[in-house]
Amino acid sequence: MALNPRPAPDTVAVVLCTYNGARYLPRQLDSLLAQTLAPQRIVIADDASSDDTWAMLEAFAERARARGIAVDLQRNSRNLGYLRNFEAALRRAGEAIVFLCDQDDVWYPNKLADYLEQFRARPRLNLLHSDSRLIDGEGRELGQRMFQTLQVSAAELAAIHAGRGFDVLVRRNIVTGATIALRREVLAQALPIPDIEHPELERSAWVHDEWLALIAAATGEIDCVEAPTMGYRQHGGNQIGARQRSLIERLGGGKQRREYMQAMAAKFDSLREHLRRAGLDVGAAKRAGLDARIAHLRLRLDLPASFARRWPLVREEWRQGRYLDYSSGLHSMVCDLLGLR
């Protein structure tokens, strides 16, 4: 399905995807209507829910329309899965600025207004994301922020603010989809999100937030709001990195670590191919950074078993700074020296 024609400037759409979200959905819907700046449209895609979600959405649509907000409400006849449901919903958003929305979070009242102010002032800004406060199933704050949980560093934030977001994201994703707003042009460049086929991998698909952020950063600028703009709900289905890991997990031992690197190499290969086929002008520096990231992953995957042969390769990769630029620094180098596979 093609994207809608060019929208009027400054128009806003919120894209909300749902699936069996009746327990937490009402607070999120209320928070959308409590925005100090109302969106022109809310696009809702329900992925064949079997609980009360659909009835809640129909009632919400009436409330929103009574306030002058257009609601595009669609229910899938079969479950598409999270990624493809979001992709189909994004294609239906015809406004200039598109906000991604999860069913179980709570937006703060100024989120839309604050983001739109940034997009108006910065024509090259492709995508904006933010920090969030973690909340529990009852909506109580847990005393942590998303950036804290993800261990986002001051250096990473400084690089993003300075227009080097692609350098950060090529190393690792720190963008949470529920905090994203982007220009509609990015969707034309990014969709469809590619499937990745790899004979040795069970899970190598792109996550939509990671893919959209990389395309936005490759073709323009991204930035982040360091202040929280929403409450990000943690419950059994979406817990993020809250437990302490054992030493062997932190060192990344065994099959899991190797499969992760294989998946990352396959994903970045697909990104490079997508940029080439789409004819997107990303500039020489970003192309070189992507090539170097892939080469670094391939070298690590192909390190010889013999320590005598492995050590010079690891030493040179460290000397060139590529463990710091494209992996987890000393942690990754130690893993490779120890031959943890």
- List, for residues 151-171, the tens digit of each pLDDT value: 999 999 999 999 999 999 999
Shared-domain flag, residues 121 and 218: yes
Query: How confident is residue 251, by pLDDT bands cut at 50, 70 and 90?
Result: very low
Tell me: do 60 and 121 sit in the same domain.
yes
Asked if 190 and 319 sit in the same domain, the reply is no
Q: Rounded to whole angstroms, how far apart are CA atoms 78 and 318?
A: 49
**Domain limit, last residue, from 177, 207, 233:** 233
Residue type, 71: V
Q: Is 60 exceeded by the pLDDT of residue 107?
A: yes
The pLDDT of residue 204 is 52
- Tell whether 182 is covered by a domain: yes
Residues 88 and 185 in one domain: yes
Q: Kindly report the backbone phi and psi dihedral angles of residue 100, in degrees, each rounded to the nearest multiple of 5, phi listed first.
A: -90, 140
Are both 226 and 259 inside the same structural domain? no
The pLDDT score that the predictor gives to residue 239 is: 46
pLDDT at 241: 39
How do residues 20-39 score in pLDDT, each as one tens digit?
999 999 999 999 999 999 99
pLDDT band at 254 (very low <50, low <70, confident <90, very high): low
Residue 239 falls inside a structural domain: no
Q: Are 188 and 64 members of one domain?
A: yes
- CA 311 to each of CA 178, 181, 316, 324, 338: distance values in angstroms, whole numbers, following the listed order: 42, 44, 9, 17, 10
pLDDT, mean of residues 79-108: 96
**Is residue 164 one of the residues assigned to a domain?**
yes
Asked, for residue 6, whether it belongs to a domain, the answer is no
Question: What is the pLDDT averaged over residues 106-125?
Answer: 97
List the single range of 167-171, 215-219, 285-289, 325-329 with lowest mean pLDDT. 325-329
Residue 223 and residue 129 share a domain: yes
Strand ranges for 241-300 from DSSP E: none
Q: Determine the Cα–Cα distance for residues 207 and 239; give it in Å rounded to an integer.
A: 16
Q: Are residues 215 and 293 in the same domain?
A: no
pTM over 0.95: no
Of residues 111, 143, 98, 150, the one with CA closest to residue 32:
111
Look up tokens 């002058």; give the residue. Answer: 68
Q: Which residues, 6 or more positions from 335, have their beta carbon under 8 angstroms from its beta carbon?
A: 251, 252, 253, 257
All residues at 6 or more sequence positions from 83 whose CB lies less than 8 Å from its CB, including other chains? 193, 205, 206, 207, 208
Domain boundaries, position 280:
247-338
Whether residues 293 and 209 share a domain: the answer is no
Q: Which residues of 73-101 are buried (b: 16+ CB within 10 A; e: fewer)?
A: beebeeebeebbbbbbbbbbbbbbbbbbb
Higher pLDDT residue, 255 or 258? Answer: 258
Q: For 188-234, how does the pLDDT look when each residue is reduced to its tens digit (9 = 90+)?
A: 999 999 888 766 555 557 889 999 999 999 999 999 999 999 999 99
Q: What pLDDT band is residue 249 in, cutting at 50, 70 and 90?
A: very low
Question: Which residues make beta-bridge pairs with 171?
Answer: none
Whole-Å CA distances, 184 to 3, 57, 127, 133, 327: 9, 25, 10, 27, 31
Domain endpoint, select from 178, 206, 233:
233
Are 148 and 211 within one domain?
yes
* Cα(49)–Cα(146) distance, integer angstroms: 28
Q: How confident is the model at residue 258 (pLDDT cuts 50, 70, 90)?
A: confident
Domain count, the chain: 2
61 domain residue, yes or no? yes
Tell me: cis bond preceding 123? Omega within 30 of 0 counts.
no
Note whether 215 and 285 are same-domain residues: no
Is 241 inside any structural domain?
Answer: no
Query: Binning pLDDT at 50, 70 and 90, where does residue 5 land?
Result: low
Q: Please identify, among 182, 200, 233, the residue that sits at the C-terminal boundary of a domain.
A: 233
- Residue 7 domain-assigned? no
Instruction: Give a yes or no: residue 74 inside a domain.
Output: yes
Q: How confident is the model at residue 242 (pLDDT cuts 50, 70, 90)?
A: very low
Q: Are residues 189 and 283 in the same domain?
A: no
Q: What percent of the chain has pLDDT over 70?
A: 89
Give the CATH number, domain containing residue 71.
3.90.550.10
Name beta bridge partners: 224.
129
Number of other CB atoms surrounding residue 35 within 10 Å: 19
